[in-house]
Every structure is written in structure tokens, then in C-alpha cells.
Structure 1
């Protein structure tokens, strides 16, 4: 069974950042550490985004450490921009990402030289097992969309954010978009531009924010998210932490009635939904833009879930309190691309320190 000092799970912003700092510390990819990614191409979750999400529509992409994205065409698909950038970064940094290998489980190891056994699976059915002194998990949320439960049953088509393709696919349909985040807002705009009839539902009134999105505001958001994860609570949704930035364009969409929520859903019906205000709306499609939860099922054998529903994180915001040697990046306060980059650095340093301690103990 091959042994690696550190295994990095996921080659998104957080995983690539962690791998960069491992390499900069003198560890060699493919020898001292391994990076596994379930996607067939570079780009992380970005590689699954829809064509209509152009780079000019995203909230921004922070540079990876030791690199610069450079000029990007705002009209080009964000998916292609990020896939190209991440792929170039992997090559330049010599990170030797192994793909497409999905990590199926991380279990405690009985060997004194390693804390964990990591099982990875290829789409063709092949499996491999590695021992590791430390694991950095940066699997994000894309594989775990959240759909709330409502009484009743809907007879039409239902899909989540990760299933969205192109707005033109819904022409001639009436679409209910559910969710109060930026994805829901973008879907409503894209569908409207394509001539699709829409209805918007949010559980609470939209949280518009017209104040400055400056570093002090960002730090306050991060601190509020960190306070929850340090208590073992689930991280806040993005919109719950940040609100929706009310740009002049969005204000105009509010004024003309596009971005006006009908309120919460009371129940699903065969042809649509009943709203909490007593009204009914017939729709052909329900698009659940209701967010994601952290994709952590591969870590279930380690029993890291807290009674409060989340993962109890240490004050460095990357170390899992109940599983020494395990580090989460892109979780909680590091869910943004900027936060993921910083978390990658902290996790790499912590993983190196943790494996040095283990080697000293066994040596």
C-alpha cells in the first residue's frame, strides 16, 4: 500500500492552493504528496458551469498563489476561463493532479506510520488505497446540492443549480426559481433575457445590500461564518452571510417586477405550488437554486460531524478538532476563492507540522 505524507482531495481553488504550498515547502508531487480530483478536466466545480455564465457575471476569481489569471474576456464562458487558468497552473507548478479519481473514503489507519487510509476510485471501476499522515480535503459543495422539503408532489420537471444548461432550454415554459442567492438572481435574468416566463420564491424577503463591499465588510462576514464553524454549526449560506449586492442593473430589475419574490412556498401541487400567502401558481418547471451543503461523505468513517450539524473547527479554521491530521479547505470562512487561497496555505503548513510530529514519534 503506497504511503504519502499528505493527500489533497480536490483540485479546485483550495486544493490547488494547498498543493502549491506543499510543493513550495519542498514536498514533491507524486512522491511526498498526491492530489486527487474527480473531474475529468481542470477547473474544479467551475468545469460544470453553464455556457451562459460568462466571466463578466461572476463575483470575481482570486488569483492562485504565485500566479496571475491575467486579462480575461468578460464575454467568454467562465467555465472555459477557469479551466484554462487552473490547467495552466497545474502544469506550471508541477502538481501532477491525478484525475479522474474520486475519493470514496478516508478511514483511520492501524499503522503507526500513518493516520489515514484513503480509497480512491476511477470511473472504470479501478480502486487504489493509500496511507497518509495527513489529509487536506477541499471537495467544496458542488456535489451536494440542497433541496428543501415541502408537502405535496410536483408533476413537472425539477432541477437544481448544477443541472442547469441553457436558458433557451426553457423557452415556452413557465419556470419557478426558488432561492434567495446570487445564482437565483442570475437565473431569473438569464431566463428573462431568453423570453422565458418566471416566478421567484424566497423563504424570507431578499436581503439586498447597497453598502460598500470593502475589506472591512468582507472581514466581518468571514468572522461571522467562522464563529459558527468554531462552534460546530453548519456554515451560513452565502446569501445569509453577504446579502445580495443591489447594483443599478438589479435595482432596475426590481423596479420592473422581475426580481420581486412571491414569498415562501407552502406546498407543492401536481401543476405548481401553493404559496404561504394563500395564492397558487401553475408552472412547468421548478429550478431549485437553494444552495449547497459541504460534500463530506467521504469523511463519514472519521465521525467528524458535530451534534450541532456541522464540523467543529479549530481557531485556525482549517483543522478538524476531533480528527488530528485532517484539514478542511474551502469550508466555512474559506468558501470564497480568496478565503480558499489563504486556507490552503494554513492547511499545508499545518499538515507538514502534523506529519513532522508523527515522523518524530515513530522515529
Structure 2
């Protein structure tokens, strides 16, 4: 605990928090990064064994220091963890861990951050807790009756634990496609989606992905019509394992089932499939419970920002790395860097007017 007032407190220890730390360090403000995890690497440390980036290393860097090359295709999660760990040391970022900030309160002209170990005060707060820690599991009829195993993306580790089993994978995004591709050689898989999956063109590499996201960022910044970025082309990046599984016929999705039964899943037309496990690749919600005392959420459960990183009703709060809601592509490594730069500039300008 410290009674000294920080210029900026950064909550979270992943890629967005480190990008913010880089720019804050360069601006000369007093800041501390509070990470609830015991080791560096953020959510990348908790992904499944075969998880890979969607872009080559050269297009997946934080500011200041390029990610070291990975010569075997798209870098695995472990490579990202090593990079984030080294990045934190390289720039001597002031990270306190494990410190879980449980609540942020207004305290006069300051914001107070409360943890089990004490409290800190700051003039500005950057919340960069991401979404991994708040998986979304939708309600489905019969979900509580199913006698097999149910797990979310965050709990999936490796296909070998499903060897010889029948597995239903739910979801139409990247995680679902990658997990089906991972499982197919080991288990009998059924992939179910609400709508037919849309694969991005095979030749869309990391540079193209970033250019599309960057174009959307500039469109929104300049008040021009929104092209939709990547979403205008498709939902699933055809990384090599996904492409190979698709070409083998392992990624033929079926319409979403209507309910779960004690032994599997069932469709409205009477068809049923028995299975041993259901993997819900159904996305995430922003991890914002620590901000609840500020009373900023609207009816959607989000904090209004006007499409940028700054909370409209609390100008001392900045939200970084939660996805397009707080800035186009801000949940990606390279996109987080751009948004972090804008946040650091805005905070520095406000501090200079005090």
C-alpha cells in the first residue's frame, strides 16, 4: 500500500497494460501497473497448447521492440508469453504482482484502488483487464440435464484428453474453428454454429489484417462511413491448422442444436447426437467488476466511451484493450499499442494542465 499519489494506475498485466506502460514511461509520468497474475504474460499464459497468433511475429509487436521472429509459421502462445515477459523487463515497467484490484472508487479529486493488501490513489486509471477472465456461457434448454462434460474455451487445454470421445463444439469464431481443427485427429467432432461460418481469404496475412483494422480506425476517427474492418470479409482467420482441417472436410459446420439432452444434443427436426463433451466457444464479456463502484455501466453492461478509450461520464478513467468497443482492433497486440499511445498522450496533456 502507498499513500503517495500516482499520476496513473494501470490495472491488468497483459499486452494492453504493457503497451500503456511503454508510453507512460516515455512521457515521464509516475505510474504503477497492478497485475493480478503471479507471472507475466497475461491471458496468453492460460490458452490451450496449440493456440497461435493470427499474424506473423513481425506484425504482432508492442511499441518500441519488435517481437522476435518465429520461423515456423504463426507464433504459438508460449512465444508471446516469452516476448511479454522480456518486454516488461526490457523497459523496466513498474509492475506489482500479484495484486488484484477489487474496486475503484472516487475519492475527491482522485481515484482510489482497493485490493486485499491495501489501497492506492491515482489521478487517472487505465483499466486493461481484458475479457479472458469473464467467459460467457449462454443458457440453453437442457444444459443442466446433460450428464457429460461441459467446458468453455478458457478450460480447453489439449485434444489428447478427449481421445476417442464424441465432442460437440459450439461457436462460429476463431476459437471454435481452431479447437475443432485441434480435436479432429483425436475425437469425433460435431461443429455447430448459429450461421454458416465465414472464413477470411487464405491469402489474408498479418499485414493485410492490420491494414484493414487500421483503415477502420481512421474511418471512425475521421467520421467517415464504417467499412466494418475484418468483419466485412469474414469471421475466421484461415491460419494453417484451420485451413488444413477445412480442406480435409473437418470443418463442415451444422446448424445450432435446440437443446441438450442427458446424453447429447437435439435439433428441432428430431435429430439427436450423443456426445461425451460440449465445448462452448461462445466468447467473453469485458472484465469490469472492479469498476462497479463508479456506477458507469449502461443498459448493455458496458461503459459508454463514444467508441474511444475514455469513459464519457468519468474522464479520469480510460479503458484499453477490450476490443472495438474501446477502439478498433484494440484487443490485438499491434492494435493495443496504437490505442495505448492515444491514451498516454491524452493523460499527459491533462496532467500538464493541472
The equivalent of 1:348 in structure 2 is 344
The equivalent of 1:330 in structure 2 is 321
Q: Distance in 2 between matches of 1:275 and 1:295?
A: 33
Rate the CA distance shift 1:168–1:152 in 2: closer, same or farther, 3 A: same
Q: Distance in 2 between matches of 1:251 and 1:325?
A: 44
The equivalent of 1:117 in structure 2 is 112
More divergent stretch after superposition (147-156 vs 217-226):
217-226
Task: Tell me, yes or no, if structure 1 residue 139 matches structure 2 residue 129.
Answer: yes
Task: Tell me, yes or no, if structure 1 residue 2 matches structure 2 residue 1.
Answer: no
Rate the CA distance shift 1:211–1:226 in 2: closer, same or farther, 3 A: farther
Report the TM-score, using the length of structure 1 for normalisation.
0.83
Within a 5 Å distance, the mapping from 1:129-208 to structure 2 comes to 129-153=119-143, 154-193=146-185, 195-208=186-199
Structure 1 residue 326: deviation in Å?
Answer: 0.4
> Per-residue CA shift, 1:130-170, capped at 9, x if unaligned?
11100011111110111111111321111111111111011
Q: Distance in 1 between matches of 2:83 and 2:184?
A: 31
Q: Distance in 2 between matches of 1:66 and 1:292?
A: 30
Rate the CA distance shift 1:208–1:73 in 2: closer, same or farther, 3 A: closer
Within a 5 Å distance, the mapping from 1:99-110 to structure 2 comes to 99-110=97-108
Task: Tell me, yes or no, if structure 1 residue 243 matches structure 2 residue 235.
Answer: yes
Q: Distance in 2 between matches of 1:108 and 1:131?
A: 10
The equivalent of 2:225 in structure 1 is none
Q: For structure 2, which runs of at least 5 residues remain unmatched after alignment?
A: 223-227
What RMSD, in angstroms, separates the aligned Cα atoms of the two structures?
Answer: 2.8
Q: Distance in 2 between matches of 1:300 and 1:196?
A: 42
> Per-residue CA shift, 1:19-61, capped at 9, x if unaligned?
111110112xxxx2110111111111101122233x5x64445
The equivalent of 2:27 in structure 1 is 25
Structure 1 residue 298: deviation in Å?
Answer: 0.8
8 Å CA contact retained: 2:309, 2:318: yes
Task: Tell me, yes or no, if structure 1 residue 36 matches structure 2 residue 45.
Answer: no
Structure 1 residue 245: deviation in Å?
Answer: 3.5
Q: Distance in 2 between matches of 1:162 and 1:225?
A: 32
The equivalent of 1:124 in structure 2 is none
Aligned length: 334
> Per-residue CA shift, 1:239-293, capped at 9, x if unaligned?
7885223578756634543111111121111111112454211111011111111
Rate the CA distance shift 1:245–1:50 in 2: closer, same or farther, 3 A: closer
**Stretches of 4+ moved more than 4 A in 1?**
220-227, 238-242, 246-252
Q: For structure 1, which runs of at least 5 residues remain unmatched after alignment?
A: 122-126, 228-235
> Per-residue CA shift, 1:335-354, capped at 9, x if unaligned?
22121111111111222233
Report the TM-score, using the length of structure 2 for normalisation.
0.85
8 Å CA contact retained: 2:55, 2:74: no
Q: Distance in 2 between matches of 1:173 and 1:150?
A: 22
Secondary structure at the counterpart of residue 115 of structure 2: strand
The equivalent of 1:45 in structure 2 is 43
Rate the CA distance shift 1:81–1:20 in 2: closer, same or farther, 3 A: same
Q: Distance in 1 between matches of 2:83 and 2:63?
A: 12
Rate the CA distance shift 1:226–1:143 in 2: closer, same or farther, 3 A: farther
Secondary structure at the counterpart of residue 96 of structure 2: coil
Rate the CA distance shift 1:19–1:211 in 2: closer, same or farther, 3 A: same
Q: Distance in 1 between matches of 2:169 and 2:220?
A: 26
Secondary structure at the counterpart of residue 105 of structure 2: strand
> Per-residue CA shift, 1:43-80, capped at 9, x if unaligned?
11101122233x5x644452111112122253898232
